[in-house]
Amino acid sequence: MKYIDEFRDGVLAKKIAARIVREVDPRRHYHLMEFCGGHTHAISRYGIPDLLPSNVRMIHGPGCPVCVLPVGRIENAIQLAQQAEVILCSYGDMLRVPTHRGMSLLKIKAQGADIRMIYSSTDAIKIAQQNPQRQVVFLAIGFETTTPPSAIAIKHAQALDLTNFSVFCNHVLTPSAISHILQSPEVRQLGWVPLDGFIGPAHVSTVIGSRPYEYFAEEFQKPVVIAGFEPLDVMQAILMLIRQINEERAEVENEFTRAVTYQGNLKAQHLVAEVFELRRAFEWRGLGSVPYSALRIKAAFSDFDAEKRFQIPALSIADNKACECGAVLRGIKHPKDCKIFGSVCTPDNPIGSCMVSSEGACAAYYSYGRFRQTA
């Protein structure tokens, strides 16, 4: 299959691995963070750590949209869905994320709440059109990749003059999270790992382009290589990072040129800028309150803002005490460091968000059995 098979070629993977082995400096350690959960899954699924020298360590980052949503916002969604007039529309992964009290959207759906699993934001619009007597709320989550469809839904609802549709906006931003990991005293206090370079996200970068990463490459002197999700993409990105580190360069390089440009998708960026604006701060699971790291709906579209329509309160709720998701999301703990990983907490019975999502680090390590080799 075009753009798939040629990026999964085992012979080529071994050649890149041999080059990595030749080029690493045995006297130093390389700590490389893959920000995005999609990369964490590729790394686990294709056994990439087994091809790397022991002084090259891959560290998973917080780039899983379901994982980083804090318990308070999930509790908000649960409380919304429990209102008789509300139909809550959500992407599938969110339904299974447990709160501190063991509840989830799926559990309250079983108790009678009207929660609909949708595949796109336009599904929520259709549900609103079909149910004019009910209030339809779209639980919008995700990084820059899923923000344009939410903007489209809001503009579409405005054009249709829908009075029973609103969006509970939880969209978050990648570059601010990376900066926060690198500089925040709060993150350092919570626990921190040294980082020498980043594999930049694939899908997010198709929207925002490679330009936004230049700030922290320069400011924090950390190289960034944007990579696709196939195993050869990731291997090549690791080689490019090692070369930058060896040459003491800190630049933004783009391995994923078949999809990512310097400017990104300007049409999508303009659409997002028309509908959304920056929040002063937003709480992330694992990272705490991160300045200017999320979006809210602009006043011009406030009729479609569920936070305003339902006066949703700000709730700050700690994770389940047994769950190490916060430390896993900061990269300081490995999923297998969690005492209940694979025993009490499994994809069938997730205790934390990192075991729920298809992009979560715990789900990746559990699904592909990497933990068995390192246990």
Residues 6+ apart with CB under 8 A from 124: 89, 116, 118, 136, 138, 153, 165
Nearer residue to ligand SF4 within complex by CB, 94 or 338? 338
Q: Identify which of residues 171 and 333 has a Cβ nearer to ligand SF4 in the complex.
A: 333
The least CB distance from residue 337 to ligand SF4, in Å, is: 8
Name the minimum Å distance from CB 25 to ligand SF4: 33
Minimum CB–partner distance for residue 324 and ligand SF4 (Å): 4
By beta carbon distance, the residue nearest ligand SF4 is 352
Cβ nearer to ligand SF4, comparing 88 with 325: 325
- Furthest-apart CA pair in the chain: how many Å? 68
> Tokens 């020298």 belong to which residue?
53
Q: How far is the CB of 167 from ligand SF4 (least distance, A)?
A: 27
C-alpha to C-alpha distance for 296 and 315, rounded to whole angstroms: 16
- How far apart are CB 184 and ligand SF4 at their closest, in Å? 21
Amino acid at 51: L
Say if residues 98 and 350 touch (Cβ distance below 8 Å): yes
Q: Is 69 helix (H, G, I), strand (E, B) or coil?
A: coil
Nearer to ligand SF4, 98 or 197 (CB): 98
Tokens of 301: 């579209």
Report whether 143 contacts 174 (CB < 8 A): yes
**Closest Cα partner for 67 from 98, 31, 45?**
98
**What does the block give as tokens for 281?**
């701060």
CB of 374 to ligand SF4, least distance (A): 14
C-alpha dist (Å) from residue 85 to 82, 134, 142: 9, 5, 26
Q: Which is nearer to ligand SF4, 203 or 285 (CB)?
A: 285
Give the position of tokens 């750590």.
Answer: 49
Q: Which is nearer to ligand SF4, 89 or 181 (CB)?
A: 181
Q: What's the token pair of residue 16?
A: 């890149």
CA-to-CA distance for 351 and 341, rounded, in angstroms?
Answer: 9
Q: 3-class DSSP state for residue 261?
A: coil
Question: Is 285 or 309 the residue whose CB approaches ligand SF4 more closely?
Answer: 285
State the nearest-atom distance from the C-beta of 243 to ligand SF4, in Å. Answer: 33
Report the nearest approach of ligand SF4 to the CB of residue 350 (Å).
6
Amino acid at 282: F
Neighbours of 280 (CB within 10 A): 10
Q: Which is nearer to ligand SF4, 294 or 355 (CB)?
A: 355
- 143/366 with CB nearer ligand SF4: 366
For residue 357, the minimal CB distance to ligand SF4 (Å) is 10
CA atoms of 163 and 2, how far apart (whole Å)? 45
Question: Minimal distance in Å, beta carbon 177 to ligand SF4?
Answer: 19
**DSSP assignment of 263-300:** S--HHHHHHHHHHEEE-SEEEETTTEEEET-BEEE-GG
Q: Which residues bind ligand SF4 (CB under 6 A)?
A: 323-325, 328, 335, 338, 340-341, 345, 351-352, 354-355, 362
Between 96 and 203, whose beta carbon lies closer to ligand SF4?
96
Stated as kind and residue range, the H or E segment containing 328 is helix 325-329
